[in-house]
Each structure stands twice: as structure tokens, then as C-alpha cells.
């Protein structure tokens, strides 16, 4: 906050006290201008959230002799002008440099690629470039907010690609939610990229888009909300089961949420050897005997729920070993965990508000994980997608296979060794330097 105050340095102490009494934490305070008429004071303080920040501003503004001139949020400041940029990898110092990087020299390179199309991977950025494609229909937990509002998220994704795998990614925000138009748009831009990362596209449209693009393109297509999530969930579950000394083939698993992420998680769990998985949606357990199921849910029901369990979440959770939530906030009552099997595992991954408060769940579960960074065991897609694409690009892969996903999950899991493994550490931090390297090597090996 930039404050205009009376020319009394005692006001500075009153401001600090007012912020503290309102629950804020002052981290810096500077008198940037002093005169006989007024002081200009810059205050930096920490707030719990945006609403709390407004309360702090109000508390300061109510102090006698103080006017809040301007406020700023460091998250918004970080986004000014966007988070990514294009920079040249070659010098442009003189006419000689220009003649090679651009005309006339570049014409020789273009002619060579026209004669030998496979050289586009070697002589352009294609071999290290990913398109991050969205229609803005399912952005984070914000819903259908459109392509413009999705752009900051896609920029962030591109920045993560660069930070963790040195991949040049670019956000492509499409102003359409028509499946045919999205597929055609991606097909048209595909020659400039080595891979396609589909992001924040609502189900069930995302399934068809991915299926059609995988069939039509000769570069890998990866829907991170599905497969990135599934990889990290399987990695975390692998280690959680190591902690409680159970085998994936022997446990009963309940997955809450039959959307894109839930479907991909179930598919990978089954491929990893899970034998008893029940999916629960708003109406209850998905069962193949239910004639009212939609097409996507029917397909999911046909490969899950071997016991033909029915009922709501609490009913099917009774006796289960594992709960995996990719659905909605606060749908799991902490006390229900007591009805699960011995040493239950709870993954509450809805963001930003999980299916159950991790602190409350920890009272009853042997292992708890969430999608949040402020609790132990954060299940975060950043553990998967940079390394996955690094491996795909290095191998010049044309598609993604289930074997690649399984190997990627195994690689993430085994970054945590036996000495480190415990109920509060089943998954490595996203900043662990070995994770993207291990995942890339696993994908290349597949």
C-alpha cells in the first residue's frame, strides 16, 4: 500500500499496529517521501487471501491522518506484461549475421527442408516446441471462463515447460468450443510444433478432441488434465501402498469423479494392475447395470466395479482401502474414513478446495495427499508433463502409449527412496532436480 499521512513519523507505528491487529504481517515499511505537508509511506504486508487484503486496506484507511493512495497485489504485478517472451538464440549484431539468420541465407535452409522434410526437426525449433492448447472451457476450478481469461494459466504452463524441461512452449487459446473447429485448428498449426499439450478443455469434448488428433497427427498429443494427473496419482499411490504395505492388485479403490481426470486415473490404475475400482459421480456409484448412464460413464462402468456396488459415496467407501477424489469440495466427511479398511489412503485432489480437509482426514487416514502446496504430499502435474514431453521430443515420438505413462509414474515414485519414504513424504517436490530427468529417461526408454 502507498499511504499519504500527516507529517508525523509516529503515524508509521500506528500503521504497523493497525495491520497487526487486523491479522496482517508487515514485511517492509519505507518512508519514500517526507515534507512539511505530508509523508508518503510504502507498506508491504502479507494477507491470508484477497478478502483479508481488503480488510487490511480498510483498517489502515481508518487510522486518523492516513489515506490509502494506492494498493497493489504482487501476484498481479508479476503478471504485468505477461510471464513469457520470445528471445533469439543467435546473434543479430551486423548485416552478416542477418544475412544468415534471415534473407538470403534462410532461403537455402527452407529449400533444404522442402527437399528433405524430415530435416525440419533438426533445422528449426520444431523439435523442442510444444503448443499448449485450450478453449477456456474448464480452467482450473474456475470453469468455463473463455480463452482470454485462460491465457495467464497457459502462459504459466509454458513457463513451467521451460523451467523444468527447457522446452519452448507457447499458449494457443482458441476462441471456439466447437469440437470440429478445435481439431481442425490444431491440425493446421501442428507443423510448427513437436507436440501438442491439450489443457483445460471440458469433458466429454476433450476425449473426442484427443482421440481425433492422435489419429490425424504424426506428433504426440497429451491431455495433461487426464494423463498428467493420472501419472502423478499412480506414482503417489505406488508409494502410499509401500507405506501401508499393501499391493495394488489387492486393494479396493474408490474414485470420486468420472470426468477427464477420473477416467484417465482409472484407466492407468487398471493398466497398473488394480482389480477393484469403483467410480462415484453425483448420482452414486457407476454400475454397468444402470441403463441411465451416459455414453462416457457407461464405458467407464463396463471396465470397473466388478462387485456391481451401488449407492452413494459413503456406502461404497465402506471397507475400501483407497479414496481418490477429483471431483468437488467437501463431499467426503472426515468421519467416513473410519469406515474404510485398516490403514486407509486418502487423496483429496479437488482444487483449490479438496473433497475433505487434509488436516481432518489425517486424524483417521494412514496417508493423506492433496493438490495443494500448503500441505504435505502435493500431487502436482508439474512432476509429470515436463519430463514426459522432454522424453517424447528427444525420442521424436509420434504418439504416447500406456507403457510410457506407466514408466513415467514408476520413475517419479522411485525418486523417493526407502530412507525418505514416510506417510508425509510419498511424492517428491516439484523442484527435485531428478524428477524431469528420470521421467524423460523412462519415456525415451519406452
Summarize pLDDT for 209-227 with one digit per residue, the tens. Answer: 999 999 999 999 999 989 9
Residue 416: closest CA among 445, 377, 369: 377
pLDDT of 293: 85
Q: Are 165 and 387 in contact (CB under 8 A)?
A: yes
pLDDT of residue 12: 83
Please report which confidence band the pLDDT of residue 36 belongs to, taking 50, 70 and 90 as the band edges.
confident
State residue 87's pLDDT score. Answer: 92
Q: 282, 231, 148: which is closest to 400 by C-alpha?
A: 231
- Return the active site residues: 102, 157
Give tens-digit pLDDT for 152-186: 999 999 999 999 999 999 999 999 999 999 999 99
Which H/E stretch holds residue 41?
strand 39-46
Average pLDDT score over residue span 103-117: 95
pLDDT higher than 90, residue 382? yes
% pLDDT > 70, the chain: 100
Q: Read off the pLDDT of residues 290-342 as tens digits, 9 standing for 90 and up.
A: 888 888 889 899 999 999 999 999 999 999 999 999 998 999 999 999 999 99
pLDDT at 141: 74
**pLDDT value of position 292:** 85
Element (H, E) at 302: helix 295-302
Mean pLDDT, range 97-119, rounded to an integer: 95
Task: Find out whether 426 and 416 touch, Cβ atoms under 8 Å.
Answer: yes
Instruction: Examine the pLDDT at 47 and tell me if it is beyond 90.
Output: yes
The mean per-residue pLDDT over the stretch 93-116 comes to 95
Q: How confident is the model at residue 59 (pLDDT cuts 50, 70, 90)?
A: very high
Q: Which 8-state DSSP code applies to residue 77?
A: H
Mean pLDDT of 82-87: 93
DSSP letters, 182-224, are: HHHHHHHHGGG-SEEEE-S--TTHHHHHHHHHHHH-SS-EEEI
Amino acid at each position: 500500500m502507498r499511504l499519504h499521512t500527516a507529517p508525523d513519523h509516529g503515524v508509521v507505528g500506528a500503521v504497523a499496529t493497525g495491520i497487526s491487529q487486523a491479522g496482517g504481517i508487515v514485511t517492509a515499511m519505507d518512508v519514500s517521501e517526507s515534507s512539511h505537508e505530508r509523508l508518503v509511506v510504502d507498506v508491504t504486508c502479507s494477507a491470508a487471501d484477497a478478502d483479508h487484503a481488503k480488510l487490511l486496506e480498510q483498517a489502515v484507511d481508518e487510522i486518523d491522518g492516513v489515506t490509502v493512495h494506492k494498493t497493489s497485489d504482487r501476484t498481479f504485478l508479476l503478471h504485468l506484461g505477461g510471464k513469457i517472451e520470445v528471445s533469439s538464440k543467435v546473434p543479430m549484431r551486423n548485416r552478416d549475421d542477418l544475412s544468415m539468420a534471415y534473407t538470403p541465407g534462410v532461403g537455402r535452409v527452407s529449400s533444404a527442408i522442402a527437399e528433405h522434410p524430415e530435416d525440419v526437426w533438426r533445422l528449426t525449433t520444431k523439435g523442442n516446441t510444444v503448443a499448449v492448447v485450450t478453449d477456456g472451457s474448464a480452467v482450473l476450478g474456475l470453469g468455463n471462463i473463455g480463452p482470454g481469461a485462460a491465457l495467464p494459466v497457459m502462459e504459466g504452463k509454458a513457463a513451467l515447460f521451460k523451467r523444468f524441461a527447457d522446452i519452448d512452449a507457447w499458449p494457443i487459446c482458441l476462441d471456439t468450443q466447437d469440437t470440429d473447429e478445435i481439431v481442425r485448428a490444431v491440425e493446421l498449426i501442428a507443423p510448427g510444433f513437436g507436440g501438442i499439450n491439450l489443457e483445460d478443455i471440458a469433458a466429454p469434448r476433450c476425449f473426442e478432441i484427443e482421440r481425433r488428433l492422435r489419429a490425424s497427427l504424426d506428433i504426440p498429443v497429451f491431455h495433461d488434465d487426464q494423463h498428467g494427473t493420472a501419472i502423478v496419482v499412480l506414482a503417489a499411490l505406488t508409494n502410499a501402498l509401500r507405506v501401508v504395505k499393501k499391493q495394488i492388485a489387492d486393494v479396493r479403490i474408490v474414485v470420486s469423479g468420472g470426468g477427464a481426470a477420473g477416467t484417465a486415473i482409472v484407466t492407468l490404475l487398471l493398466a497398473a494392475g488394480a482389480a477393484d475400482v469403483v467410480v462415484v459421480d453425483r448420482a452414486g456409484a457407476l454400475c454397468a447395470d444402470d441403463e441411465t448412464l451416459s455414453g462416457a460413464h457407461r464405458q467407464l462402468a463396463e471396465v470397473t466395479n466388478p462387485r456391481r456396488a451401488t449407492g452413494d459415496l459413503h456406502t461404497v467407501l465402506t471397507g475400501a482401502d483407497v479414496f481418490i477424489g477429483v471431483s468437488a469440495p467437501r463431499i467426503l466427511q472426515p468421519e467416513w474414513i473410519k469406515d474404510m479398511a485398516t490403514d486407509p489412503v486418502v487423496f483429496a485432489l479437488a482444487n483449490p478446495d479438496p473433497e475433505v480437509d487434509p488436516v481432518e482426514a489425517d486424524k483417521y487416514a494412514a496417508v493423506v495427499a492433496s493438490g495443494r502446496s500448503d500441505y504435505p504430499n502435493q500431487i502436482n502435474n508439474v512432476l509429470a508433463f515436463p519430463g514426459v514431453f522432454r522424453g517424447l521430443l528427444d525420442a521424436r515420438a509420434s504418439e504416447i502409449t500406456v507403457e510410457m505413462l506407466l514408466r513415467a509414474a514408476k520413475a517419479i515414485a522411485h525418486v523417493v527412496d526407502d530412507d525418505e519414504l514416510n506417510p508425509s513424504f510419498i511424492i517428491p517436490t516439484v523442484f527435485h532436480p531428478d524428477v524431469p530427468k528420470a521421467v524423460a529417461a523412462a519415456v525415451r526408454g519406452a
